[in-house]
Structure 1
């Protein structure tokens, strides 16, 4: 999954032929004929599927790659409109993935079973330190690809992966995993062409995928990349435009000014002063959709000051979520009461109970019991340029009023700097944490962000929380006989998470998109991204 840059929980102006690309603050001319431009923030890493677990790079990769499976836009159920023809198992341990024939990469080479097996092994190998490694943790032989401190692992290929023939992949898991087919729409399961292994760094600048758009030039950091339509695309949803120019911005306000002036065609996620007015300003060039995400306040459990669960609970109960959603977000956010999004299977409306409700007396009692030092200010961390300062200031003011603790805002790092610092245990206080689903299951909101197996760099467990009881509950869900039984166990895991509270849920988001009169058919998909292939240029 994806850590999201902009409010929720998530490049580059490229010079294309005959086109002036925007540089990292927006501006510049609009796109060339048949090509439209789309706002993104700076991706954290080069554009390789196995090492892209945030929203900005993922939006680009969704244009470049087509997944194994897709999802119904209304029901979230798995559909086989991607590369996979079927995903089947008799025991939920041994799985067979059948691929559709005749798919090709943008360089003309075939997409076959080996393309997937080799890519998954490379992503899982600890030597490469890829952030999506965790997603293969349940495959037999994964542990043999893991070694500490940069040492060489015992193996370079998982024993549980086999390319039987060009169109058949066999996957042997460590234990049953009832929702395995549901996971396969995530970008970490994308294939890679043979050319990737010759120079992964060059590939990250100019990826070669199997999707509706292809890269003809390098991604330029701080500017962006322009992709063009792939004419030999085998999927059901080919690109309707001749190209899409992803333009990197460091500030939401700059992007919004550009889309108002016609220098940017499509923008998803708006600055705070536009939340309440964009609908009226753009009229039929405005769309919104509930975002499948969560914004949380994470705690650095490795810091002695925040290692006591009573401290974390006190902070949670000192925050008035409803007041912030009304005063700051003008009701474009909803107070969160679960670690999962309301759109996913397993969501419970009041899973958090009283711990997510304002209770100043109880919060102060907990802080006193924990012996928390109120004389030292609390440092509140968030990434710059995405309108987080407004609501984080509101939280700081509530902590000062309700707990008698001063605060310091630490919001000077851009997204691509903020995430690595989290991986390095660099948070010295509560921090903005965001997640948007990779696939529609409560499990996806729990395992990649709080399980022991997802500790960085293998996953996105930024609080560095580890509890064997929580891990076991997730495992019990994976071993369930049905999706329903699995969900029950995942909910049990969530209850353990609320007991320990390594993070506290804050808000669920609303995606808001606006666009220029140059384009039409702009849609927000199930995952809160723009359906890049569907956009038409007038």
Structure 2
């Protein structure tokens, strides 16, 4: 997620990039103070390999450090704990070396076993971790996670993980994968302390989890907030300068924005659509905003397990061509969104231009003809969480489609559910009764992040049960490429295969627009994850 990193979704000149002019990140003198940030209740207990959505992801990423991290300005993967990650010529074996002396927040040192044991735990099918599929590249994954859900795993350890010494281990893949290294900054690959594996009740352990990152757990109050405090034993170079961060829970984006205006909330990574109209947010916040292109996109997902008629390409293509993306991004988002012309945003390295072609353009007459040719008649719901600021744009999509398809007997309607947690539960338990809105915030800077997770058979976020053997084969071909440049062509071909069946209707990518209170002097917005870069926050004197 991630589906909105899998969560809730949204200009400044691009020259401003994603950072407010002033103090940057990096180590500095610690400043007293607590910073409050927009958040929501995590969907699951705070275990990295089971965290697949944005709200839990914000907390887990603040508490843990991985082998790699993603530069907030560029989104590129950089060494964090790793000193080197060396691939073999065919990208089938990766030798991983990492820093000595890096500690968990319980004082124990991070060693190779902490990575190996964590990855084996995450991949082992009986543990039912949401991010298990991220380990499917590793040799022996099928032995710990058989394709048949009823089958018993042959073992609980992947043969492709081998310890060299306490600060080095080797990863052998079952096939070449040129993108594998980039994944290693994602939270599924975080190390876990020995106390986690010793705990009989893992969910109980997760009520007060222990990581190895810049912040440690302090408190969680359901439906109120999660509080983290700075951990002074953090070994990374980008040490935070604030004492505490509080992720406050809100029932709506508009309620959070009102608190931001009044100074009762210090940071919100996306202002709501109501604040985008005529650049209202600039006046409300007196210029305390930042923005730029982020690796995020929004779509309508069509459950393949529901009405078979919804899989008719004529119907889906027609609905897509009845959406006036340009008009909606202008009227609802004040051009803080950019209409998609494919399934991967153009901000992602290796994305394919115009992969969706005419089917992502507004052609109401052709749309009407295609829908009539499909033979379908009925009203299709669009499900979304009511607490996420999506009402305005979904209603705009509904109005656009219903106007274009008037007289065909086909229409859409907005069907909200109370909270993001409820929506995610419906998605994961295959209980969707209509289309559902979705957002993808990239886990690593490659088309493979979204294409594999959302569309590959058995993908970690493929909650609509889409399966296309030809698409799966094209992804494997892309990963087997010698370079990322060569892989891009195959990823583009995979996108064009999606266009034929269109299991998701692409909508728009995002120009991230964040707001902050006068308590904050400077802060960055992470280009990859569309969240505040906590280590960059500096407080006003």
On whether the aligned pair clears a TM of 0.5, the verdict is: yes
Alignment of 1:134-173 (within 5 A): 134-147=133-146, 148-149=148-149, 152-173=152-173
Q: Per-residue displacement from partner, 1:420-461 (whole Å, max 9, x unpaired)? A: 21122222222101101011111112011100031xxxx101
Structure 2 residue aligned with 1:352: 356
- Find the residue that maps to 1:532 and give its secondary structure: strand
**Cα pair 1:119 1:191 within 8 Å, conserved:** yes
**Cα pair 1:6 1:269 within 8 Å, conserved:** no
- Find the residue that maps to 1:509 and give its secondary structure: strand
Structure 2 residue aligned with 1:47: 46
- Find the residue that maps to 2:535 and give its secondary structure: coil
TM-aligned CA distance change 1:143 to 1:149, over 3 Å: closer
**Cα pair 1:7 1:509 within 8 Å, conserved:** no
Structure 2 residue aligned with 1:401: 403
Structure 2 residue aligned with 1:328: 332
Q: Aligned equivalents of 1:422 and 1:110: distance in 2?
A: 38
Q: Per-residue displacement from partner, 1:159-211 (whole Å, max 9, x unpaired)? A: 11122211112111011111221111111111111111213112322221111
Tell me the CA shift for residue 372 of structure 1: 0.6
**Cα pair 1:228 1:243 within 8 Å, conserved:** yes
**Cα pair 1:296 1:432 within 8 Å, conserved:** yes
TM-aligned CA distance change 1:536 to 1:150, over 3 Å: farther
Q: Aligned equivalents of 2:71 and 2:379: distance in 1?
A: 47
Structure 1 residue aligned with 2:295: 292
Tell me the CA shift for residue 268 of structure 1: 1.5
Tell me the CA shift for residue 33 of structure 1: 5.2
Tell me the CA shift for residue 497 of structure 1: 0.9
Alignment of 1:198-209 (within 5 A): 198=199, 199-209=201-211
Q: Aligned equivalents of 1:177 and 1:413: distance in 2?
A: 40
**Cα pair 2:8 2:420 within 8 Å, conserved:** no
Q: Aligned equivalents of 2:57 and 2:110: distance in 1?
A: 20
- Find the residue that maps to 2:458 and give its secondary structure: helix
Structure 2 residue aligned with 1:491: 492
Q: Aligned equivalents of 1:128 and 1:348: distance in 2?
A: 37
Q: Per-residue displacement from partner, 1:15-54 (whole Å, max 9, x unpaired)? A: xxxxxxxxxxxxxxxxx95211111122211111111111
* TM-score of the superposed pair, with normalisation by structure 1: 0.91
Q: Aligned equivalents of 2:239 and 2:71: distance in 1?
A: 17
Return the match for 1:430 from 435, 455, 460. 435
**Cα pair 2:179 2:484 within 8 Å, conserved:** yes
Alignment of 1:124-273 (within 5 A): 124-147=123-146, 148-149=148-149, 152-197=152-197, 198=199, 199-217=201-219, 219-273=220-274
Alignment of 1:322-471 (within 5 A): 322-373=326-377, 376-404=378-406, 405-454=410-459, 459-471=460-472
- Find the residue that maps to 1:250 and give its secondary structure: coil
**Cα pair 1:120 1:136 within 8 Å, conserved:** yes
- Find the residue that maps to 2:94 and give its secondary structure: strand
Tell me the CA shift for residue 510 of structure 1: 2.1
Instruction: Say which structure is richer in strand.
Output: 2
- Find the residue that maps to 1:106 and give its secondary structure: coil
Q: Aligned equivalents of 2:287 and 2:368: distance in 1?
A: 49
Tell me the CA shift for residue 98 of structure 1: 0.4
* TM-score of the superposed pair, with normalisation by structure 2: 0.90
TM-aligned CA distance change 1:398 to 1:72, over 3 Å: same
Structure 1 residue aligned with 2:110: 111
- Find the residue that maps to 2:525 and give its secondary structure: coil
- Find the residue that maps to 1:446 and give its secondary structure: helix
Q: Aligned equivalents of 2:373 and 2:520: distance in 1?
A: 58
Tell me the CA shift for residue 393 of structure 1: 0.9
**Cα pair 2:105 2:211 within 8 Å, conserved:** yes
Q: Aligned equivalents of 2:518 and 2:332: distance in 1?
A: 30
Q: Aligned equivalents of 1:536 and 1:76: distance in 2?
A: 21
Q: Aligned equivalents of 2:258 and 2:284: distance in 1?
A: 12
Establish whether residue 305 from structure 1 lines up as the match of residue 309 from structure 2: yes
Structure 2 residue aligned with 1:12: none
Number of residues of Structure 1 aligned to a counterpart in Structure 2:
507
TM-aligned CA distance change 1:77 to 1:259, over 3 Å: closer
Tell me the CA shift for residue 142 of structure 1: 0.6
Tell me the CA shift for residue 151 of structure 1: 5.4
- Find the residue that maps to 1:520 and give its secondary structure: strand
Tell me the CA shift for residue 523 of structure 1: 1.1
Q: Aligned equivalents of 2:47 and 2:364: distance in 1?
A: 46
- Find the residue that maps to 1:289 and give its secondary structure: strand
Structure 2 residue aligned with 1:101: 100
Q: CA RMSD in A?
A: 1.7
Q: Aligned equivalents of 1:250 and 1:152: distance in 2?
A: 42
Establish whether residue 513 from structure 1 lines up as the match of residue 522 from structure 2: no
Tell me the CA shift for residue 150 of structure 1: 5.8
Structure 1 residue aligned with 2:322: 318
Structure 2 residue aligned with 1:280: 283
**Cα pair 1:463 1:503 within 8 Å, conserved:** no
**Cα pair 1:127 1:150 within 8 Å, conserved:** no
Q: Per-residue displacement from partner, 1:442-498 (whole Å, max 9, x unpaired)? A: 1112011100031xxxx1012211001000000001111111111111111111111
